[in-house]
Structure 1
Amino acid sequence: MRSFRLLILVIIGLGLLLIAGCSRYHTSGPTQIIYWTGWSGHELEIQRKLVDRFNATHKDIHVKLLSVFGSYQKVTIAFAGGDTPDVLSAVWADQLAGYAMRDALTPLDQYLKASNRTSSEWAPGVWQMFQYKGHTYALAATTNTSFIAYNKDIFREAGIKSLPRNIAELDEAAAKCTMYDSNGRFIRYGFRPSDLVTWAYVFGGRWYDPSTGKITANDPHNVEALRWMASYSKKYDIRRMQGFESTFGSDQSVSGPFFVGKKAMWQTGEWVDQYVKRYAEHLNWGYFPLPYPPGGRPNAMSLGGSVFVIPAACKHKKEAWEFLNWICGPEAVADFCEGIGNVPPLRAVAESPRFIKKPLFAFAGNLISSKNAFGAPQMPIWPTYKQEIARAEDFAVYGGQDPKKLLDAIQKKMEMELADAMEGRK
C-alpha cells in the first residue's frame, strides 16, 4: 500500500514538472497569431513574404498564415462558432457592419490611439469603410478604383478628339466607336455601362443615409442612373450585344474584347494595367474618370475590397494588433500594392514618388482621395441589399422592366430587412 502511494506521488510530481516545463516553454516562446487571408496565387506569395519579414523582425510574435481562398464559408462558420483566427483579411468591407453589429469584431479605437494612427492617413472614403456606429473596426492594405479604360486607336479612327467628360459625350463616343457589318451584326462596340451601385453615386444618388438610418434605394438619382443604363439595351439590342460578347473570352482573359480591339471602352480599375501587360502589351490605351450628368458628381466611384480585422474571440489582441498595424502600415502597404498592382489606401504612400511616377497610379490616387469616392454604406444588411441592386440592374437591362418600380420594390424590401436586423440585434 505504501509503495502504491509512493508511486502515485511520483506520478503526480512528474506531472507537475511536465506542466511546469510546458508552461515555461510556452511563455518563453513567441506568441502565435493565426492569420487567415483570402488572397491566393501571386498575391498570396507576396503576403507570405511580408509575414516572413514581420516574423523575422518581431521575435516575440509568430504569425502563421493560412489562405481561405475559395472557401469563404469557413469564415462565416468560424464567426458563428466563435472559433476564429486572431487576424482576418478575408472579410469584405461590405460585411463589416454586419459583423460589428453582432459584436463579432474588436473595436480598434484604443489601439489606433495608442499607436498614434489617425483617420487623416487614409482617403476619406476608405476610412468611412472601416466605421460602424462611431467606432473603427478594420484597416486595409489595398483598395480599388473605378474608371474607364479606352482604346486610343479606336478613338482616333472614330474621330474623337477629346475624352468624354459628361454622360452625353460618353454616349456619343460609344455610338461613334460602334461598328456593324452589312447584316447589322457587331464588328465592335463602344461601351456598355454596368454596376448600378457606382453609377448611382455618379448621378448624384446614394443608397443609405447614415444621418437618419434610412434606406434610399429609390432616390430619383438612382432611378435616373438605372434608366440611363437600360437605354443602352434598347439602343444596341442587348441580346445581340451579348451574342457578340460570347464569341470572346471574359473581360480579364487574353481574348477579352477590350484586349483584342472589339470593345472601345471598358469600365474597370487600376488592376487593368496588369492585364494589359500580360495579354496586350502593345495595346495603345488610356483612361479617364467616370463621366457624369448635370447635377452629378465628378470623379465619383465606389470603393471596396477586403479589410483586416481582429475577431472579438481573439485571445491575443495586443499581438494581433501589432501585426495588423504593421501590415497596414506604410512600408508593408507600399510593397504589397506595388507587387499586386493595386492603389494604396494610405495617402502618404499613394502620393509617394514610388507611385506617382507611374501615371496610372497618380491618376488612381487622385480618384480615391476624391470627396466623391464612396465606401460601403455603414449598414448591416449591405451584402443582401447589394444583391438586390444587382438583380434590379439585370431586370432593367436584360428584362426591360421599369427602373422606378424595381427600385421602389427594393426600397420596401430593404426597409423591412433593416428593421428586422436592428430588432434582432436588440
Structure 2
Amino acid sequence: MPRRRVRLCMVATLGAAGLLLSGCANPSTGSADDDPTKPVTLKFWHGWSATSEVKAIDRSIARFEKLHPNIKVQSTGNVSDATINQALRAGGGKAPDVVTSFTTNNVGQYCSSGMWADLDPFMKKNGIDKKKVFPKTLLDYTRYEGKQCASPLLADAFGMYYNKDEFRAAGIKRPPHTMSEMKRDAAKLTKKNGDGTLKQVGFMPSFRLYQNSPDRMFAQYGPEYFNSAGKARLAKEPKTEQYYADMKGITDAQGGFSAMERLRGTFGDEMSSQNGFLTGKLAMHLDGEWRGLMLDEAKAKFDWGVAPLPVPDDQADTYGRGYLTGTVAGIAHSSKHQNAAWELLQFLTMDTKQVVNFANAIHNVPSTFAALKSPDLDADPSFRAFLKIAQNPYSQAIPPSNNGGQYVTTFQDFSYSVEAGKEHDIPAGLKKLDDQIDADNLQSEN
C-alpha cells in the first residue's frame, strides 16, 4: 500500500500512539559514547511497504554500508508508529536505533516525551548549520519547543491537478489563482446528467474526499492555529470563517453539498482505476506529487497538468504556496549506538546524492536545498511543479503539538459538521473547538 495511504489512515490511530507516548518522560536511556568507526550492527525500522519503495530504501542502505564498511544495517519495513513507540518505550536490545515516521503530526510527542534523541548536539559536533541544509517549513515540522528531535527525509507537497481537455472545452485559459477564480471556473466545468444529477464538477471541496483533509486547503490561507502561549486561536483567526465561506461558495456554485455527496458516492477508491479525477468526474483535484506517476501508469485518457492551489483573493501575492508534510527520521533515545546511528541518519537525510536518488525512486520531493537544486532530479514538468511549491516561502505545514495530531482530528470533525450545514453558529462553534483543543493539550501535559 503506497505510503501516502498509510499516512492518511494514521490520523485515526493517533490516539493509540498518544497513549503509548504519554507518561514517557523518562524513556530508556541510551548512549552517545560509542565509537562510530568500530564494528556495529544498527537496527533501522521504517514504514515503507510497497515493493518499489522497499527496493529503493534497500539500495540506500547498501550504498551506506559501502561507505561505512564497519556498520551493518538490519532494515525492517512496514512498521507502524505504534509498534515503534512500544519498542522505544520498552528499550532493550531489540529496540531500533534509527526510525522513520510518515506522521509529522507526532513530532511534538517524539520531542516532548524524550523518546527520540535531540539531534542538535550531533549537528553542532559535525559543524552542520541546519538552516542552510533544510527549508524552514521542513525544520518547523521536525522540531518542538526548540528541540530538533527529527530530520526531514523527503517531503510531500500538495497542489492542484487539472484536466486540460476540460479547461479548453470550457474556454478557460489557465488554472485559477484565487478562490473567486476557482468558484467561477468550477461552475463553468460542472456538467449534469439528464435527470439533473451531477456528472462532473470543477472542484469538490469535500473534506471527506481522498486527500482533502481540511488542514490541507486551509494552508492556502496561512492560518495561525495557536498563539504564542500555545493556546488554540481558530475562533480569533479571521481566516477560519473566510475559509469555510469560500468552500461553501464553491460547493454551492456547482449544485450544493447534497448533490456533491451523491456524486462522491460514485467515486472508486483513491488508489484504484475508478479514482474520481482519473475517470473524469473531477476537473480539478487536490493531491500530492505522487499522483502524477500514478496517472502515467494508469495511462490517463486526457491531457492533465499541475498548478498550485488557489489562494484567498486578498492574498493573491502568495499564489504558488501549498501544504507540506513528509517523512521524518530520528535516533532512538534508547539506542546504545547513537554516534553510529547519527552516521546513518546523516547519510539518509543530508547526503545530496542519496536524497536525490531516493526522491527520484519513490517520486517524492527532496528535503534539502542542495537536492532541490540538483540537475539529477527527475525532469518531469509535473514533478517540478511540486518542487516549486515546496520551496515557496509561503508554503505551510501544520504546527506540532504535545499530543500529536489530536487537534487536527478535532478540527476535521468540526469541519465535517460545517460543510454538512449542521453547525449553525460557526463563531460559537469555533470557540468551543478552541476550548476542546486546549483541554486535550492540557490533558496530555498532565
> Normalising TM by the smaller chain, what interval?
0.7 to 0.9
- Superposed CA deviations along residues 93-112 of structure 1, whole A, max 9, x for unmatched, are 11011121111111111211
Supply the AA of the counterpart residue of 2:139: W
The residue correspondences of 1:113-192 to structure 2 (distance < 5 A) are 113-118=124-129, 119-192=131-204
* Matched-pair contact (CA < 8 Å) for 1:254–1:280: no
Q: TM-score, normalised by structure 1?
A: 0.87
Distance 1:274 1:251 in 2: 14
Distance 1:28 1:340 in 2: 31
Q: How far off is 1:379 after superposition?
A: 2.2
Supply the AA of the counterpart residue of 2:324: L
Aligned to 1:381: 403
**Further displaced range: 184-193 or 398-407:** 398-407
Confirm whether residue 323 of structure 1 aligns to residue 332 of structure 2. no
Supply the AA of the counterpart residue of 2:420: Y
Distance 1:256 1:177 in 2: 18
Q: CA RMSD in A?
A: 2.1
Q: How far off is 1:237 after superposition?
A: 3.1
Taking structure 1 as reference, are residues 152 and 81 closer, same or farther at Cα in structure 2, changes over 3 Å only?
Answer: same
The residue correspondences of 1:190-269 to structure 2 (distance < 5 A) are 190-193=202-205, 194-209=212-227, 211-218=228-235, 219-235=237-253, 236-269=255-288
* Matched-pair contact (CA < 8 Å) for 1:105–1:309: yes
Q: TM-score, normalised by structure 2?
A: 0.83
Aligned to 1:108: 119
Supply the AA of the counterpart residue of 2:344: F
Supply the AA of the counterpart residue of 1:61: I
Supply the AA of the counterpart residue of 1:203: Y
Supply the AA of the counterpart residue of 2:40: T
- Superposed CA deviations along residues 278-328 of structure 1, whole A, max 9, x for unmatched, are 113453011211111233343332221220011111110000000010011
The one of 57, 62, 65 equivalent to 1:52 is 62
Supply the AA of the counterpart residue of 1:213: G
Q: How far off is 1:368 after superposition?
A: 1.2
Q: How far off is 1:401 after superposition?
A: 1.7
- Superposed CA deviations along residues 190-249 of structure 1, whole A, max 9, x for unmatched, are 10123321333322422123x332322221212221232234454423333233233231
Taking structure 1 as reference, are residues 227 and 382 closer, same or farther at Cα in structure 2, changes over 3 Å only?
Answer: farther
* Matched-pair contact (CA < 8 Å) for 2:110–2:149: no
> SS of the residue aligned with 1:264?
strand
Confirm whether residue 300 of structure 1 aligns to residue 312 of structure 2. no
> SS of the residue aligned with 2:313?
coil
Aligned to 1:288: 307
Distance 2:64 2:81 in 1: 25
- Superposed CA deviations along residues 346-389 of structure 1, whole A, max 9, x for unmatched, are 11111222227332233222211122122331321241001111
* Matched-pair contact (CA < 8 Å) for 2:45–2:96: yes
Supply the AA of the counterpart residue of 2:287: T
Confirm whether residue 418 of structure 1 aligns to residue 438 of structure 2. no
Supply the AA of the counterpart residue of 2:229: T
Supply the AA of the counterpart residue of 2:180: A
Aligned length: 395
Aligned to 1:68: 78
* Matched-pair contact (CA < 8 Å) for 2:160–2:306: yes
The one of 356, 367, 370 equivalent to 2:389 is 367
Distance 2:45 2:157 in 1: 25
- Superposed CA deviations along residues 110-139 of structure 1, whole A, max 9, x for unmatched, are 211223322222111011112222221111
> SS of the residue aligned with 1:266?
strand
* Matched-pair contact (CA < 8 Å) for 2:111–2:143: no
Supply the AA of the counterpart residue of 1:92: T
> SS of the residue aligned with 1:146?
strand
Confirm whether residue 347 of structure 1 aligns to residue 369 of structure 2. yes
* Matched-pair contact (CA < 8 Å) for 2:39–2:71: yes
* Matched-pair contact (CA < 8 Å) for 1:350–1:356: no
Aligned to 1:36: 45
Distance 2:385 2:178 in 1: 18
* Matched-pair contact (CA < 8 Å) for 2:204–2:282: no
Q: Gaps spanning 5+ residues in structure 1: where?
A: 1-26
* Matched-pair contact (CA < 8 Å) for 2:222–2:394: no
Identity rate of aligned residues, in percent? 24
Distance 2:142 2:188 in 1: 42
Taking structure 1 as reference, are residues 149 and 172 closer, same or farther at Cα in structure 2, changes over 3 Å only?
Answer: same
Q: Gaps spanning 5+ residues in structure 2: where?
A: 1-35, 206-211
Supply the AA of the counterpart residue of 1:117: I
Confirm whether residue 393 of structure 1 aligns to residue 415 of structure 2. yes
Distance 1:301 1:109 in 2: 28
> SS of the residue aligned with 1:304?
strand
Confirm whether residue 406 of structure 1 aligns to residue 406 of structure 2. no
* Matched-pair contact (CA < 8 Å) for 2:61–2:73: yes
**Further displaced range: 350-359 or 304-313:** 350-359
Distance 1:221 1:74 in 2: 38
Confirm whether residue 311 of structure 1 aligns to residue 311 of structure 2. no
